[in-house]
Amino acid sequence: MRPRQATRLSKYLSLHLRHAPDQIGITLDAQGWTSVETLIAQAAAHGFPFTREELARVVADSDKRRFTLDGDRIRANQGHTVPVDLGLEFLAPPERLYHGTVDRFLPAIRTEGLRPMKRHAVHLSADPETATRVGARRGEPVVLTVRAGVLHRAGHRFQRSANGVWLTDSVPPEALEPLEPGPAPTAGGAAGDRSGS
Ligand code: HQG
């Protein structure tokens, strides 16, 4: 399978295992699993044929381990918008976690904190490099540092998905560390005025 086809299949799986199972007539169980046999048959019936071997290859090669294949079952490891309970344990996060985003969301994030938006949970990365890649999907990345340890001790609950993404309901603005000063403060002497960042 050529890389471009593998990417298409990966995106197809993300779409139907996270967001739109109905569109191809498959159902996810409460934990997000669906039958591989049915998936393959329904995808073919909807004009997207692929083999079990191609599926296994894409799951094994996924850079982000997006899917788990378990016998005749498959599920997405995170990122759902349809309701599923992934059965992940709650556990204590590291003291700091990271969130990759872009400049244009910062005013809202500074006011409301991080919200799950369309997903079930806010996605946080274990290291700034990963967060940089997440932010870069949308433009010039900005990496926010989250005081996860403080939040956890204050009662916020954290889970870690099978591919190492940390999930939590929300992050209030005060749990975000101030950003490093930008490279070039604009005219008007705004330098030092980073309140709320
Ligand atoms: C932003 C990818 C305004 C948030 C990645 C983000 C990740 C706010 C966007 C996974 C906000 C939501 C998740 C607020 C958050 N106001 N904007 N209050 N709070 N945002 O895609 O974290 O390729 O739902 O900063 O690797 O970008 O799908 O979340 O920019 O692990 O496997 O709202 O998706 O993995 O975007 O990415 P998303 P995300 P996959």
> pLDDT tens for residues 119-175?
989 999 999 999 999 999 999 999 999 999 999 999 999 999 988 999 999 999 999
Looking at the fold, whether 115 and 156 belong to one and the same domain comes out as yes
Looking at the fold, whether 107 and 67 belong to one and the same domain comes out as no
In this prediction, residues 68-84 reach a mean pLDDT of 95
Q: Is 115 in the pocket of ligand 1 (CB under 6 A)?
A: yes
For 140, 159, 162, the CA distances from 87, given in Å and listed in that order, are: 34, 10, 11
Our mutation pick for probing the ligand 1 site, out of 105, 130, 167, 170, counting the most ligand atoms within 8 A of Cβ, is: 105
Residue 141 belongs to domain spanning: 90-195
Decide if 65 contacts 163 (C-beta within 8 A). yes
Q: Give the strand pairing for 141-147 and 96-102.
A: antiparallel
Looking at the fold, whether 42 and 137 belong to one and the same domain comes out as no
Looking at the fold, whether 116 and 71 belong to one and the same domain comes out as no
Name the nearest CA neighbour of 107 among 196, 4, 3.
196
Q: Is 63 in the pocket of ligand 1 (CB under 6 A)?
A: no
The per-residue pLDDT for 194 is: 41
The per-residue pLDDT for 188 is: 42
The per-residue pLDDT for 3 is: 81
Decide if 100 contacts 131 (C-beta within 8 A). yes
Q: Average pLDDT, whole number, for the chain?
A: 91
Q: Does some domain include residue 81? A: no
Q: Is 64 in the pocket of ligand 1 (CB under 6 A)?
A: yes
The per-residue pLDDT for 181 is: 64
Our mutation pick for probing the ligand 1 site, out of 80, 117, 138, counting the most ligand atoms within 8 A of Cβ, is: 117
Total number of domains constituting the chain: 2
Domain endpoint, select from 27, 53, 76: 76
Looking at the fold, whether 63 and 159 belong to one and the same domain comes out as no
Q: Does some domain include residue 84? A: no
Q: Is 109 in the pocket of ligand 1 (CB under 6 A)?
A: yes
